[in-house]
A and B are shown apart, each in its own frame.
Chain A
Amino acid sequence: MNQGSILLQLAVQFVLLSLLSFGGVNVILPDAHRFIVDVHHWVSDQEFADFFAIAQAAPGPNFLMFGLMGWKIAGALGAIVATLAIGVPAATVAFIVGGLWHRFRNAAWRRVVQMGLAPVTIGLVFSSGLVLGTAADHDWITFAITAATAVITLGSNVNPLWLFLVAGTLGAFGLT
């Protein structure tokens, strides 16, 4: 497949995901994985998990990991196309709706739509957890890190960055 055709497919899919990302990036992660890893094999399962790890550890919003994937798939142009495709459609919606916001900020239908979307969002976030866990957990130690992180973040207010630091350190000593 040539570069232009790959870029076009990537852009079309990301534009779609951008408009479907009710609840933010966590919701579209499984579909991005399905499309990029399972369908097109542009990025390996391992790389997908690594890019997410980089996005978590790096300063900057996590949605930029899609730019990183674009870069991996098609170089600098890929990074720019992917970032714009994931960012601009949703941003355009926000620009338009943001201007009209005061007209319906207390509208009952908005609360109803929000309530209705929430359960689906929850299911999709758990799907993201499954996708990331499947890619990252290949032995009992990595599985234990996943479980411990989930339990500790739920049971305390510790900044997850500390847990990433501990997990990364364990990894540096070859434990993962």
Chain B
Amino acid sequence: MRAIAAPRAGTDGLVDLFFAFLQISLSGFGGAINWAHRALVEKRRWMSDEDFTETLSLCQFLPGPNIVNFAMCLGQRQHGLAGALAALAGVIVVPLGIFIGLGALYTSFGQMAVVHGVLGGISAAAAGFMISVGVRIAGPHRRRPWSALFGTAAFIGMGLLKFPLVYVLLILAPPSIGVAWWLEVRRR
């Protein structure tokens, strides 16, 4: 196994964190997290492969964008609260500026037929991409009738009936977790 590089001390370390997460954030076409492995494990050697996988699984479990959670976890580990904030700033500040710049262009030129057409095409493709993400994460649950039941209920509640998310989660998550627990107990 390759040696893990120690983070630099003090302000240098904070600057490193900021730029590492800025780079990850800006590379994040189709999911920033895919680029995080390259930047943090392969290039900077701040984490081992195993550590990366474990941290990622925690970040996917917690609420919030994975990349934000990842920045908080790794930033904290290296430099405490200041590190977490430096990494978070790297994720947010510059990309948000770019987004707002694009938003301003959109306001000025959004009514032009070409811009309208381009965005219309991309959003149609984005809808298809979202559906494929759903199918992918549903794959492992194919043969689980309970998963199908709770997944369908969530789709009906949120997608078709447009209930507030709070209610959908409050009503569906406890029984779904209960069933998962029951299956786990029975399996033993």
By CB atoms of chain B within 10 A, which of A71, A123, A168 has the most? A123
Query: Looking at chain B, what size class is its interface with the partner chain?
Result: 35 or more
* Contacts A38-B162, A98-B76; A120 near B154 (Cβ below 8 A): yes
For A91, list chain B residues within 8 Å (CB). 64, 68-69, 71-72, 84, 88
Which 10 A-B residue pairings sit nearest by Cβ, starting from the closest?
A90-B64, A123-B154, A171-B121, A60-B95, A149-B128, A116-B177, A127-B159, A167-B125, A171-B117, A31-B165
Measured between beta carbons, the chain A residues less than 8 angstroms from B11 are none
Cβ of B68 to closest chain A Cβ, rounded Å: 5
Nearest CB in chain A to that of B133: its residue: A125
Q: Of A56, A115, A142, A163, which is in contact with the most chain B CB atoms at under 10 Å from its CB?
A: A115
Binds A, one of B1-9, B12-20, B40-48, B145-153: B145-153
Decide yes or no whether A8 CB sits under 8 A from chain B: no
Q: Which residue of B lies closest to A30 (CB)?
A: B158
Beta-carbon contact of A95 and B84 below 8 Å: yes
Q: Which B residues are in CB contact (< 8 Å) with A148?
A: 128
Task: Spell out A's residues near B (CB within 8 Å).
Answer: 16-28, 30-31, 34-35, 38, 49-65, 67-68, 71-72, 76, 79, 83, 87, 89-91, 93-95, 97-99, 101, 105, 108-133, 135-137, 142-143, 145-151, 153-154, 159-161, 163-164, 166-176
- A27 surroundings in chain B (CB, below 8 A): 165
Q: Is the interface of B mostly helix, strand, loop or mixed?
A: helix
A-facing residues in B95-132 (Cβ within 8 Å): 95-96, 98-100, 102-103, 106-107, 110, 113-114, 116-132
Instruction: Evaluate contact between B117 and A90: CB separation under 8 angstroms.
Output: no
B162 x A30 contact (CB < 8 A): yes
- CB pair A123–B158 under 8 Å, yes or no, is yes
B102 to chain A, nearest CB (A): 5
- The answer for the CA separation of A68 and B106 in the assembled complex, in Å, is 11
Contacts of B10 in A (CB 8 A): none
